[in-house]
Structure 1
Amino acid sequence: MSYPKTVERIIDRAGPIECELLPRLIQVTETAAIAAAYQMGRGNKNFADQVAVAAMRRMLNKLDMRGIIKIGEGERDEAPMLYIGEQVGTGKGNLEVDIAVDPLEGTNLTADGIPGSVSVMAMAERGGIFHGPDIYMDKIVVGPDVVRYEEEHPGETIDLDAPVRHNLEIVAKALERSVEELVVVILDRPRHVQKITEIREAGARVKLVSDGDLMPGVSTAIRGSGIHMVMGAGGSGEAVLTAAAIKILGGKILARLVLPTVANGKSQNMINQEIEEKMPRLEKMGITLENLKDVLDTNKLVPGNDVIFSATAVTPGHFLREVNLFGGGDARVHTISMGSSGAVKFTDSIYIRDKRDTPLYL
């Protein structure tokens, strides 16, 4: 008698990175989130970030792997820990991985006790994550319904260079909604004033966020999240981390590197100065003034086949609960993790130092 073996087949699809490192990756982001949670609401964003980085680095260096930070806290001379190019792990075992990391996405949110901050990380096999500079990326993020619609309707695709209305209409068709029913998340920045106006004039609704558009990007691939699209220029690291999750979930991201001075409409003198300062580093990564404007899709940002992703909330999130501290080092955290096999987990973890002092409650 036959019976479905769907779960077995999904588990069998998991690569060595997913099998061996995803359970530990969850612990890495949860450790960093708990460390940051102790600084929640204290008004010191730099220290909150510092403790999250330190906790994450300690945990990474306990993993049997040879890891290289491809997206990190900045360049080596700007970040004391988890800088781009840093090698982490014990060096033991056969796993060689590229890593994208943001120990505390939304430092201001944590410092002020505002919803939306997370500790997040992605890994893939060597060469599986875009080695990007610490500048901006202009992007569009959509969920798997849009990808399916594009496949079924050749010629109707979202386009980073298309008018805002065009992209909204594609998403509306894919979701079988009206444009008026769409919600677009965008960072609340002066550089986005025109784009926000265009979104509203097209009839869609805008959800402004003060910081942290990474998890809204992931939310576009989760039905019921109430977020249908993310647009605008933000950190390149956040775009790559979004790409890791959105690739696993079947969604799509289009992005383009952009210098902050260009994105923010600064003077040509300031743009030239930034080009002079940053282009030598970008050229070492294979990025020139000629290809700087190339559109990077999901597979260019995360070309890996064995990709894992974990995000743990620090403050309340779009679909994750915040860290709860019980005292004495005990904590409860909520994490979303996933791998290329298609397995997605929502983990509710409780860390108890002494079970006699802290009984477990449902």
Structure 2
Amino acid sequence: MERNLALEMVRLTEAAALASARLMGRGDEVEADYAAAEAMHSLFSVIECDGQIVIGEGEEEAIPMLYVGEKLGNGSGPPIELALDALEGATSCATGSSDAISVIAAAEPGGFLRCPPNCHMDKIAVGPEGQGEIDLDKPVEDNLLAVAKAKGVPVSNLTVVVLDRPRNEALIGELRRLGTRVKLIGDGDLSAALATTHEPAGVDLLMGIGGAAQGVLAAAALRCIGGEIQGRFRPRNEDEAKQLHDLDIYDFRKKYGTEELAGGNVMFAATGVTTGGYLTGVRFYSGGAMTNSVVVRSETRTLRLLETFHHFEQHPEY
């Protein structure tokens, strides 16, 4: 994949972030999510790529745009797969909370693991210092001890991010019993996975059950930035199990590693919508706005942090 495509991807996440940030704190996550998707979708027509969505906003029959299977771009260049979330953390955006982002990843055909849009996955993720130290098959305590040893700190100094959901209550109780620090979040575990790679964010691990699609996107980011994620599908009912069967996934005990979730040459881009541990959110000023983005490729691992000023009187295509 050409390096110029990475900067084109940032234009897409910037457009989605700007559109959804205008609706920050207004209490309507559906409206914010739609605004982000519409902005990203409309700009795709001028992006030089031959892309097809494999991880998107949903199925074709359920949503009008950015659905799984949709072809995007102007058709030029080699074919690529797209995994995206125009607004990851829609609830965070609607409530004015932290860590809402817009994100897109691209890979060569066959690079991304397919998964149903709303399926769950049990996940564990760490940044570069903990790479090679985690194992989803091992007890929670073993993983904490291994990461703590790799980082040279006691378990009590680790911070583990977990989605605050009933399905994670047992894990939260175990972490507290073991004496580690626990940060509960209401939304946006993809942002938490990113934060494990950024020491100032103060996040050492992401653990618990969350969205499978976010697991694939997190794997794309960690392939490029460094770090590791492991995941295992956790269907909640027979309908979700059937959706996985339709994708030829039958073994729900199988553990997927980072490269199984996002393999080959991968690129990743994200823009902050609301300020979080990894990216600063959109800031509006008279006549424009400023965005904070990251773009990185697995081939070189060159990480670019972009602070972009958008002047609205010029009516740019972002």
TM range (shorter): over 0.9
Q: 2:290 aligns with which of 324, 332, 335?
A: 332
Moved over 4 A (4+): none
Equivalent residue of 1:224, what SS? helix
Give the corresponding residue for 1:125: 108
Which digits, 9 at most, give the CA deviation of each residue in 1:206-240, with x for residues without a partner?
A: 00111001111112122232100000111111111
Residue 293 of structure 1: how far off its partner (Å): 2.5
Q: Could you tell me the TM-score, scaled by structure 2's length?
A: 0.94
Matches within 5 A, 1:52-201: 52-92=36-76, 94-134=77-117, 135-147=119-131, 150=132, 157-201=133-177
Give the corresponding residue for 2:26: 42
Distance 1:35 1:292 in 2: 38
Which digits, 9 at most, give the CA deviation of each residue in 1:16-62, with x for residues without a partner?
A: 33x12111111110000000011111111101000100111112222
> Is the 2:21–2:93 Cα contact (8 Å) retained in structure 1?
yes
Equivalent residue of 2:37, what SS? helix
Q: Could you tell me the TM-score, scaled by structure 1's length?
A: 0.83
**Which protein has the larger Cα radius of gyration, Structure 1 or Structure 2?**
1
Distance 2:180 2:45 in 1: 46
Q: Which amino acid aligns with 2:54?
A: K
Distance 2:53 2:230 in 1: 22
Which digits, 9 at most, give the CA deviation of each residue in 1:144-180, with x for residues without a partner?
A: 2222xx4xxxxxx422122111110010011011101
Equivalent residue of 1:28, what SS? helix
Q: Are 2:305 and 1:343 aligned?
A: no
> Is the 2:14–2:291 Cα contact (8 Å) retained in structure 1?
yes
Structure 1, unaligned runs of 5 or more:
1-15, 151-156, 262-270, 356-362
Q: 1:280 to 1:190 in 2, by over 3 A?
A: closer
Q: 2:259 aligns with which of 299, 304, 307?
A: 299
Q: CA RMSD in A?
A: 1.4
Matches within 5 A, 1:262-301: 271=237, 275=238, 277-288=239-250, 291-301=251-261
Q: Are 2:246 and 1:246 aligned?
A: no
Question: When the two structures are aligned, how many residues end up with a matched partner?
Answer: 312
> Is the 2:194–2:278 Cα contact (8 Å) retained in structure 1?
no
Residue 186 of structure 1: how far off its partner (Å): 0.4
Q: Which amino acid aligns with 1:246?
A: L
Give the corresponding residue for 1:359: none
Distance 1:281 1:77 in 2: 15
